[in-house]
């Protein structure tokens, strides 16, 4: 978090015409804060089998990046967890513990490149997606995918690209509109409207596609292929409730679970939410 605060402070100190400003904005958007593991999280890692996998970073370092994959259990029912932005596998600590009470499960989690203990200074949705594909090459298509925040969007993007579907998808406070998320971050850092537009234009040039493609509605073209439960929070300030409920209105086949007592980050460790997830997996 200290590095991100320094980036925001540097943005505040830049003139709008500064050559360094756009570089700082890219860092603002693509640097994922890294928080150290707590002792209890380290202990849970010690109970896992671990593997280093690799993905190629086409956009930033242009190198192979190693990322850790953690596996608990040896059951036939594979459950893959995809963390969100600025997060890591072991932020699912409470959920992992609960999932391991289910019979015949194998729980897989990972630190996406540029997040947690994985290699990479910067990250993006594509690195999350490629990491999931790398895991699926080793372990096959999971029976269940659970994705939080950007991890929820990544799960949808993987299915759109591969046409491989789990039996069940659970998204928790998934990001809906990446463009608006970027704009919110830039506004918070005091970036002018003109420089926001420069960044968005540069983003489209780098990824060779419209930023409007990074809306979950543009990716979600497989409604009949997977059982989808979407868990969201009334008090979420990262994924606006209006965005979630508009998506749900367009997709009545998705089963919603609404909460009103937590927030975007803490929803994955909320006891009531975890109990509802376990209930869904017993059905």
User: Per-domain residue ranges for the chain?
Assistant: 1-31+179-214, 46-177+219-282
How many CB atoms are located within 10 Å of the residue 115 CB? 27
Q: How far apart (Å, rounded) are the C-alpha atoms in residues 23 and 27?
A: 6
Q: Tell me: the pLDDT tens digits for 24-77? A: 999 999 999 999 999 999 999 999 999 999 999 999 999 999 999 999 999 999
Helices 21-30 and 193-207, axial angle in degrees (round to 10): 70
pTM, full prediction: 0.97
Q: Tell me: the pLDDT tens digits for 197-255? A: 999 999 999 999 999 999 999 999 998 999 999 999 999 999 999 999 999 999 999 99
Q: How far apart (Å, rounded) are the C-alpha atoms in residues 116 and 121?
A: 11
- Three-state DSSP at 136 gives helix
CATH superfamily assigned to domain 46-177+219-282: Alpha/Beta hydrolase fold, catalytic domain (3.40.50.1820)
Q: How far apart (Å, rounded) are the C-alpha atoms in residues 214 and 5?
A: 26
Closest CA to 176 of 267, 244, 117: 244
Per-chain mean pLDDT for the chain: 97
> What is the bridge-based pairing of β-strands 144-148 and 168-172?
parallel
Closest CA to 66 of 110, 124, 27: 110
Mean pLDDT of 75-104: 98
Whether 283 shows a pLDDT value over 80: the answer reads no
């Amino acid at each position: 978090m200290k590095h991100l605060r320094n980036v925001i402070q540097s943005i505040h100190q830049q003139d709008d015409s500064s050559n360094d400003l756009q570089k700082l904005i890219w860092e603002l958007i693509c640097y994922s804060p890294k928080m150290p593991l707590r002792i209890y999280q380290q202990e849970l890692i010690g109970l896992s089998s671990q593997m280093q996998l690799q993905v190629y970073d086409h956009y930033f370092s242009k190198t192979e990046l190693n990322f850790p994959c953690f596996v608990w259990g040896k059951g036939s029912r594979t459950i893959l967890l995809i963390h969100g932005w600025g997060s890591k596998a072991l932020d699912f600590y409470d959920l992992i513990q609960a999932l391991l009470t289910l019979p015949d499960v194998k729980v897989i989690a990972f630190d996406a490149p540029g997040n947690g203990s994985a290699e990479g200074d910067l990250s993006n949705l594509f690195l999350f997606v490629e990491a999931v594909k790398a895991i699926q090459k080793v372990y096959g298509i999971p029976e269940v995918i659970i994705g939080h925040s950007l991890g929820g969007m990544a799960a949808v993007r993987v299915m759109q690209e591969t046409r491989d579907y789990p039996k069940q998808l659970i998204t928790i406070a998934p990001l809906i509109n990446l463009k608006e998320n970027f704009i919110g971050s830039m506004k918070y850092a005091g970036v002018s409207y003109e420089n926001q537009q420069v960044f968005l234009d540069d983003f489209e040039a780098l990824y060779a596609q419209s930023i409007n493609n990074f809306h979950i509605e543009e990716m979600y073209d497989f409604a009949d292929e997977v059982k989808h439960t979407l868990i969201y929070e009334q008090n979420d300030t990262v994924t606006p409730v209006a965005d979630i409920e508009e998506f749900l209105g367009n997709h009545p086949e998705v089963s919603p679970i609404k909460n009103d007592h937590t927030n975007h980050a803490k929803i994955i460790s909320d006891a009531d939410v975890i109990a509802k997830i376990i209930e869904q997996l017993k059905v």
